[in-house]
Amino acid sequence: MRDTGGPILAGEKTASPPVCVPCAALSVQLCRALQRGKWVAAWVGWAPAWGVAGTVHDPATLRPIPGRALEMVEYGTREADWTTAARLVVELQDVEPADLEAEWAAYGAERLEAAFADVAARQRR
């Protein structure tokens, strides 16, 4: 996730659901948003679906409400019925800070390279 100056906390919501160690390495290398700034990582024990990030519409006009694009909206709320979803939002539970560079080192360069090759092969299909 994007670094906000503190650790990732339990109960935090994100439209960037947890990924495995090799996918985190790929993400940091390939994602322009992550390349532009600092990022943080955590081990997450559970990430239940919480809602969506999307464009909230006015129920009377059906037009998008200005300034409410990619807003996080909780399932079951009135706003959820009027939101065009673009991303799933999950709530992070059982969170422990992670040193991703140490995780990559422990995973091993050879295993990471094999995972990268597997992803590249799937992209060619």
- What H or E segment, with its residue span, contains residue 52? strand 49-56
What domain range includes position 23? 1-46+92-125
Q: According to the model, what pLDDT value does residue 102 have?
A: 92
Can you tell me the mean pLDDT for 29-33?
A: 82
Q: Are residues 3 and 29 in the same domain?
A: yes
Can you say whether the dihedral through the CA atoms of 9, 10, 14, 18 is positive or negative? Answer: positive
Q: Are residues 34 and 64 in the same domain?
A: no
Give me the number of domains the chain comprises.
2
Q: Are residues 54 and 38 in the same domain?
A: no
Predicted TM-score (pTM) above 0.75: yes
Highest mean pLDDT among 1-5, 36-40, 47-51: 47-51
Can you tell me the mean pLDDT for 25-54?
A: 88
Q: Which has more confidence, 85 or 98?
A: 85
Q: How many residues does the chain have?
A: 125
Can you tell me the mean pLDDT for 116-121?
A: 87
